[in-house]
């Protein structure tokens, strides 16, 4: 997978990862700042508490023996290793005792806690600094609030916070604590956090690289397979690993979609084959008739007759063509917003009434025995067309009956179904295979070839039943044939 | 009775020349229609696209319009809807190559008055256009139809010819009622199936012919003059005198 950087960024996974990484980094930086500032505040509070304790002790010493005792205690404590800062100065700010050699000016002028860390120098540090910097003035140079100056001083000396008190004799006492330790602590925390976050980020990148790459590989294999299918290999299917994950589910769904498309495609191919086969014959006939009329001399009446025949033949072609189209649309699950409540009993009465004169003329008794209402969800027009095709057939094929030809239309409700049965007493279709084939497109069983018709009547009826979520069955009658249209009954019945 | 202006036109429908507008983008089909309408004695104007057709229809005073459904620039249904919203009530017949089950409903809902699927026979189109002619359709309000000596009373559901009562089945009555409303005009088999049975499909057998011949038996048997005529290649026509 040699993907260049822009190509990588084109994948959703990479873009999402980059976004997450950015958010994560932002959060991490905020966290570091929050943690360090929190710890700094905690450390300052702790320092102040220590100083308070210290001052309390010194106050007790002062109460016990006045200034001399205080000075002695201060000197004692000053000499201890890692001692706090102590300073006692006279009212003018002249340092009398303590372990502080010099201070930022102004620090001891106001009583109470110093508002900001100040820089100072302990005894014994001066020479070293002077050697290092080459100037003694800088250590005591007035820091005029200039940040840079104070920082440079802080680097040479130390930073501290302190409590400044005025003794009853107007002398000034300062007790402070060096900030070096808390600062170091803060730096350690910051470093640790930064390191940890950096490692987490790196880990995230690695995880993305391996996990994301696996996902990309799956997607690539799916695209590869779909390219093959688009290339014409319609039998191809997307890979399913069997892991049952979302990729497998996606592939399975796409595969069943492909299967459905293949079925429809097959149906379409069959329709076009049938159209080609069954329209070619009449079209050829049409063409031959026109050609024959044109060649040779004929009387005007012959031309007229030929043209009339041509029109009649083309009308039949159009009918056939329309029927094929309709069947295909119905089978393709054409959805109609004009499906509504249809009373099958009314449909039966209508069609029976429509065909009654035809039946009478053919010497067939057409009986429709329907009582009450049989409601289904459907399209009245389509049901009427299907039923009239079936009744039409029944009348045609009952004429070869051995007894008095009769067609009976009945309606009955059985568990969850409404069965509309059209039964004739003709010869029927004795052969089971023939009966099964009779609803296929253009199938005209041997004995029906003499009858007019396109061979699409029952196919259309079957497609109409499919459209209504029902089915069409051809059952052997006794004698004759029973065509049964089964509709799912409406829920409210 | 003697005043020609109030003389009811029920004896014979207005069948004079009509002014027809054909909006059809297929040049050849449009020319054929224009020629055929002219031969039938009407005047036909042709517009080759929806916009031109809309402008012509909006400006002209036509008796009937024949509008193709799918056209460049503006489709037929939009033309009809636009005309209807401007108060134009000229009857419209929609021509369509679609022929889906719902198309008819969609077309009629958009303001069309009749619907014909391509390909069609010109005789069918002509019959439908003549029936649509707004100057001929004033009969809806009449309660008694008279053609020759045949008389149909829509309120009492009675039919008599030369003062002799004729008994008809309900469907036969409706069939005769439709034929009499359009007396003097050609009525096709599909028009009868649509208007009398409310079905819009092609029946496989000649069911309508059998119904008509049965009706013919009832209204002609015993009378010397034929009144229900068969028009070859087209349909039927009720015509007295």
Average pLDDT over residues A350-359: 93
CA–CA separation, A457 and A399 (whole Å): 18
Question: Per-residue pLDDT for A151 more than 90?
Answer: no
Distance CA A364, CA A401 (A): 10
Residues A205 and A213: beta-carbon distance below 8 Å: no
CA distances from B15 to A194, A434, B9, B133 (A): 99, 54, 11, 9
Q: Which of A231, A230, A250 is nearest to A239 (CA)?
A: A250
Cα distances from B50 to residues B19, B73, B113, B142, in angstroms, run: 19, 6, 18, 37
Return the HEC string of B170-213. HHHHHHHHHHHHCCCCCEEHHHHHHHHCCCCCCCCCCHHHHHHH
Q: Could you tell me the pLDDT band of residue A129, with boundaries at 50, 70 and 90?
A: very low
Q: Which residues pair with B96 in a beta bridge?
A: B117
Q: Give helix B76-85 / helix B50-59 axis angle, nearest 10°.
A: 30
Q: Is the CB of A357 less than 8 angstroms away from the CB of B207?
A: yes
Beta strand A365-369 with A406-414: parallel, antiparallel or unpaired? parallel
Return the percentage of chain B with pLDDT > 70, whole number.
89
Any B CB within 8 A of A309 CB: no
Distance CA A59, CA A165 (A): 10
Cα separations (Å) of A432 from A162, A230, A416, A428? 111, 41, 27, 11
ipTM: 0.84
Q: Which of B226, B240, B237, B233 is nearest to B130 (CA)?
A: B237
A384 min Cα distance to partner chain B (Å)? 8
**Who has greater pLDDT, B84 or B203?**
B84
What is the model's pLDDT at position A165?
82
Using N-to-C axis directions, what is the helix angle for B189-196 and B122-132, rounded to 10°? 50
Q: What is the average pLDDT score of chain B?
A: 86
Across the range A364-378, mean pLDDT stands at 89
Q: Does A455 touch chain B (CB under 8 A)?
A: no
3-state secondary structure of A176: strand
Chain B: residue whose CA lies nearest to A326: B100
For the beta carbon of residue B173, count every other beta carbon within 10 angstroms: 19
Please list, in sequence order, all residues whose beta carbon lies within 8 angstroms of the beta carbon of residue A168, skipping any fewer than 6 positions away.
none
The fraction of chain A above a pLDDT of 90, given in percent, is 12
Please give the residue that has the higher pLDDT: either B176 or A99: B176
Looking at CA atoms only, how far is residue A21 from chain B in angstroms? 53
Instruction: Quick: pLDDT tens for B148-174.
Output: 899 999 999 999 998 899 999 999 999
The Cα–Cα gap between A102 and A119 comes to: 9
CB contact under 8 A, A392 and B211: no
Report the number of secondary-structure helices (H) and strands (E) in chain B. Answer: 8, 12
Q: Is the pLDDT at A101 greater than 80, yes or no?
A: no
Q: Do B204 and A358 lie within an 8 Å CB cutoff?
A: no
B210 CB neighbours in chain A (<8 A) are 357-358, 361
Indicate if the pLDDT at residue A121 is higher than 60: yes
Whole-angstrom Cα distance, residue A157 to residue A103? 10
pLDDT for A16: 76
DSSP E strand boundaries for A48-129: 85-89, 95-98, 100-103, 112-113, 118-122
Q: Is B76 exposed, middle or buried (0-12, 13-18, 19+ CB in 10 A)?
A: buried
Write out pLDDT tens, residues A236-266: 888 888 777 888 888 888 888 888 888 778 7
Tell me the backbone φ, ψ of residue A445, rounded to 5 degrees.
Answer: -65, 155
Taking the C-alpha atoms of residue B72 and residue B78, their distance in angstroms, rounded to an integer, is: 12
- Whole-angstrom Cα distance, residue A45 to residue A475? 98
Side by side, the strands of the sheet bearing B228-231 are: B187-188, B235-238, B228-231
- Quick check: helix, strand or coil at residue A177? strand
Distance CA A254, CA A247 (A): 11
Cα distance from A305 to chain B (closest Cα, Å)?
12
Domain over A340-488 is classified CATH 3.40.50.300: no
Q: Are A96 and A90 in contact (CB under 8 A)?
A: yes
Would you say how long chain B is, in residues? 241
Tokens of A214: 């696996």
The answer to which of A455-464, B143-152, B168-177 has the lowest mean pLDDT is A455-464
Cβ proximity of A425 and A477 under 8 Å: yes
3-state SS, one letter per residue, for A358-377: HHHHCCCEEEEECCCCCEEE
Q: Which pTM does this prediction carry?
A: 0.63
Q: How many CB atoms lie within 10 A of CB A319?
A: 14
In CATH terms, the fold of domain A5-188 is Beta-Lactamase (3.30.450)
Euclidean distance between CA atoms A331 and A264, whole angstroms? 9
DSSP string, A307-349: HHHHHHHHHHHHHHHHHHHHHHHHHTT---TT-EEEEHHHHHH
Which H or E run includes B65? strand B64-68
Q: How confident is the model at residue A334, as a pLDDT?
A: 57
Residue A354 touches partner B, C-beta closer than 8 Å = yes
Q: Per-residue confidence at A443, pLDDT binned at 50, 70, 90? A: low
* pLDDT the model gives residue A130: 42
Query: Which of A157-161, A196-200, A350-354 is predicted with the least confidence, judged by mean pLDDT?
Result: A157-161
Q: Which residues does residue A165 pair with via DSSP β-bridges, in sequence order?
A: A173
Q: Is the pLDDT of residue A149 over 70?
A: no
H-state helical runs in B9-117: 27-39, 50-59, 76-85, 103-109
Higher pLDDT, A336 or A79: A79
For A:416-445, CB contacts with B below 8 A are none
Instruction: Evaluate if residue A343 carries a pLDDT over 50.
Output: yes
Q: How large a percentage of chain A has pLDDT more than 70?
A: 84
State the Cα–Cα distance between residues A163 and A175, nearest whole angstrom. Answer: 5
Answer with the residue of higher pLDDT: B141 or A254. A254
Q: What domains, with CATH codes, occur in chain B?
A: 17-132 (3.40.50.2300), 144-238 (1.10.10.10)
Task: Kindly report the average pLDDT of chain A as a whole number.
Answer: 79
> What are A173-189's pLDDT values in tens digits?
888 888 777 777 778 88
Can the peptide bond before residue A479 be classed as cis, meaning omega within 30 degrees of 0?
yes
B202 contacts A354? CB cut-off 8 A: no
Helix (H, G, I), strand (E, B) or coil at A89: strand
Give the pLDDT confidence of A285-335 residue by residue, as tens digits: 888 888 888 887 888 888 888 888 888 888 888 878 888 778 877 776 655
Which tokens belong to B110?
Answer: 């958009």
Q: Please indicate if any CB of chain B lies within 8 Å of the CB of A381.
A: yes
pLDDT at A104 over 80: no
Kindly indicate the confidence band of residue B137, based on its pLDDT and cuts at 50, 70 and 90: low
Residue of A nearest to B170 (CA): A353
Of A322, A329, A355, the CB nearest to B207: A355
| Least trusted range by pLDDT, from A28-37, A361-370, A380-389, B41-50 | A28-37
**B174: nearest Cα among B138, B209, B215, B231:** B215
Q: Are B146 and B114 in contact (CB under 8 A)?
A: no
d(CA A436, CA A434): 5
Question: Can you give the pLDDT at residue A1?
Answer: 46
Determine whether the interchain pair A357/B205 forms a contact, defined as Cβ–Cβ distance below 8 Å: no
Q: pLDDT at position A64, please?
A: 84
Q: How far is B8 from chain A (nearest CA, A)?
A: 33
Each residue's pLDDT tens digit, B15-24: 678 899 999 9
The number of C-beta contacts closer than 8 angstroms across A and B is 61
DSSP state letters, A103-125: E-TTTTTS-EE-SS-EEEEETT-
Contact A412, A491 (CB under 8 A): no
**Minimal-distance CA residue of chain B relative to A380:** B199
pLDDT of residue B64: 94
- pLDDT, greater one: B135 or A287: A287
Helix (H, G, I), strand (E, B) or coil at B104: helix
């Amino acid at each position: 997978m040699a993907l260049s950087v822009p190509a990588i960024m084109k994948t959703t996974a990479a873009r999402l990862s980059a976004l997450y990484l950015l958010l994560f980094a932002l959060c991490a930086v905020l966290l570091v700042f929050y943690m360090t500032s929190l710890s700094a505040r905690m450390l300052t509070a702790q320092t102040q508490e220590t100083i308070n304790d210290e001052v309390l002790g010194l106050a007790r010493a002062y109460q016990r023996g006045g200034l001399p005792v205080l000075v002695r205690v201060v000197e004692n404590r000053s000499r201890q290793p890692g001692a706090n800062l102590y300073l006692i100065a006279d009212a003018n700010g002249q340092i009398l005792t303590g372990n502080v050699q010099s201070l930022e000016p102004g620090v001891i002028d106001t009583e109470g806690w110093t508002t900001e860390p100040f820089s100072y120098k302990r005894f014994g540090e001066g020479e070293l600094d002077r050697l290092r910097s080459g100037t003694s003035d800088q250590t005591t140079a007035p820091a005029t609030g200039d940040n840079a100056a104070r920082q440079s001083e802080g680097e040479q000396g130390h930073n501290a916070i302190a409590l400044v008190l005025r003794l009853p004799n107007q002398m000034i006492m300062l007790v402070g604590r060096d900030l070096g330790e808390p600062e170091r602590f803060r730096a350690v925390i910051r470093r640790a956090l930064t390191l940890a976050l950096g490692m987490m980020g790196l880990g995230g990148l690695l995880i993305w690289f391996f996990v994301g790459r696996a996902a990309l590989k799956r997607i690539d294999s799916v695209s590869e397979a779909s390219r093959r299918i688009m290339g014409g290999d319609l039998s191809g299917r997307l890979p399913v690993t069997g892991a049952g994950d979302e990729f497998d589910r996606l592939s399975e769904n796409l595969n069943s979609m492909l299967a459905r498309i293949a079925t429809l495609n097959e149906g379409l191919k069959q329709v076009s084959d049938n159209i080609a086969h069954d329209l070619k014959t009449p079209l050829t006939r049409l063409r031959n008739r026109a050609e024959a009329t044109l060649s040779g001399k004929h009387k005007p009446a012959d031309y007229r007759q030929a043209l009339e025949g041509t029109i009649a033949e083309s009308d039949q072609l159009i009918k056939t063509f329309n029927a094929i189209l309709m069947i295909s649309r119905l089978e393709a699950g054409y959805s109609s917003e004009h499906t509504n409540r249809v009373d099958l009993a009314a449909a039966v009465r209508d069609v029976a009434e429509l065909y009654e004169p035809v039946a009478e003329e053919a010497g067939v008794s057409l009986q429709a025995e329907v009582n009450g209402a049989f409601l289904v969800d459907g399209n009245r027009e389509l049901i009427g067309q299907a039923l009239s095709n079936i009744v039409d057939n029944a009348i045609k094929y009952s004429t070869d009956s051995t007894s008095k030809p009769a067609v009976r239309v009945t309606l009955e409700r059985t568990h969850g179904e409404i069965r509309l049965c059209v039964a004739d007493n003709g010869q029927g279709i004795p052969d089971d295979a023939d009966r099964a084939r009779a609803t296929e497109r253009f199938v005209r069983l041997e004995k029906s070839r003499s009858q007019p018709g396109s061979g699409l009547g029952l196919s259309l009826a079957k497609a109409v039943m499919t459209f209504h979520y029902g089915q069409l069955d051809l059952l052997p009658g006794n004698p004759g044939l029973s065509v049964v249209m089964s509709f799912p009954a409406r829920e409210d019945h | 009775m003697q005043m020609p202006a109030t003389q009811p036109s029920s004896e014979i429908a207005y069948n004079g020349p009509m002014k027809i507008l054909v909006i059809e983008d297929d040049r050849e089909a449009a020319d054929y229609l224009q020629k055929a309408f002219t031969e039938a004695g009407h005047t036909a104007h042709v517009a080759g696209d929806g916009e031109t057709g809309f402008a012509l229809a909006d400006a002209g005073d036509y008796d009937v319009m024949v509008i193709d459904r799918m056209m460049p620039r503006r489709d037929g249904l939009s033309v009809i809807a636009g005309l209807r919203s401007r108060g134009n009530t000229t009857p419209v017949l929609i021509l369509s190559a679609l022929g889906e089950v719902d198309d008819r409903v969609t077309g009629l809902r958009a303001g069309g008055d009749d619907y014909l699927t391509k390909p069609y026979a010109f005789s069918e189109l002509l019959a439908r256009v003549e029936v649509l002619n707004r100057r001929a359709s004033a009969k809806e309000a009449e309660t008694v139809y008279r053609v020759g000596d045949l008389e149909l009373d829509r309120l009492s559901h009675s039919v008599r010819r030369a003062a002799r009562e004729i008994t008809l089945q309900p469907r036969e009555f409706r069939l005769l009622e439709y034929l009499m409303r359009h007396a003097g005009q050609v009525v096709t088999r599909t028009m009868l199936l649509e208007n009398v049975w409310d079905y819009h499909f092609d029946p496989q057998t000649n069911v309508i012919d059998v119904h008509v011949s049965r009706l013919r038996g009832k209204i002609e048997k015993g009378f010397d003059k034929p009144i229900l005529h068969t028009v070859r290649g087209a349909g039927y026509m009720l015509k007295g005198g």
